[in-house]
Amino acid sequence: MSDPDEYPAPPRPEDLPEMGTSRGPRARWAWVWVALGSALVTALVMFLIMRPYLTLPSSNAGQTTVAPTPVAETSSASPSAARWTAPPAAAPLPSDPPTPTPEPATSQDAACPELDGRWVTDETVIWEPEHLDELVDAPDGFAAFVEAQLGVDDYGCTTQFTILGTHPEGFAVGTMESPEWDDGCGGGAWFIWSDQGGEWGELFMIQDILDCSDLADAEVPENSGLIECFADDQTWWW
């Protein structure tokens, strides 16, 4: 067994300091400063959060604010720009045109002749006697004249007629040519045929525009719509 004097005696309760008092006055002031610092930090954070919502009094208080006047857009691409465009000035009234001098009346219509009702215009192609039956409105003796010209000429070319118009007073207009299907043949001319005292024959072979005076001298009926002639420095339909 150990000697009791080797170990110190345990302290007595009355010799122990009270709870919370072992740190002294300095520890209590430290807690106070910590509390104050926390309060300041919290206040600063709240101020920063609420700052956007705080409004300062304006120095212009009591003055009337005038709203800006809207300005209309004048862009040329805007559809509403036309409403802001000034209306165009009225065009000046045209002056009275001068009265044209009337030209002397002529018996021919230079643009589109009005047929006299007796010319029969119908394109009929004839190269065989069987085709002569189509000349039902031709003047007397004309079909026999055409038939006599049909056949093969001295050059071995077939003669072909294209009748364009006939008149009961004894006139006919058309072409006489050789078809191109014959070797070495082809070509022709325009003709005006007429009944010359009971016998048909060539009145004009038209290789160029005729003079209207020549047609008048030959008493060719007017307004055929097929014959062109030259007079007064211009071309007319005879």
Q: Residue 224 and residue 219: Cα distance in Å, rounded? A: 13
Considering the chain, what is the average pLDDT of its residues?
75
pLDDT of residue 111: 46
3-state secondary structure (DSSP) of residue 160: strand
pLDDT lower than 50: segments of the chain? 1-2, 19-22, 58-59, 61, 66, 71, 74-84, 104-112
The Cα–Cα gap between 166 and 146 comes to 13
Nearest to residue 170, comparing CAs of 198, 205, 131?
198
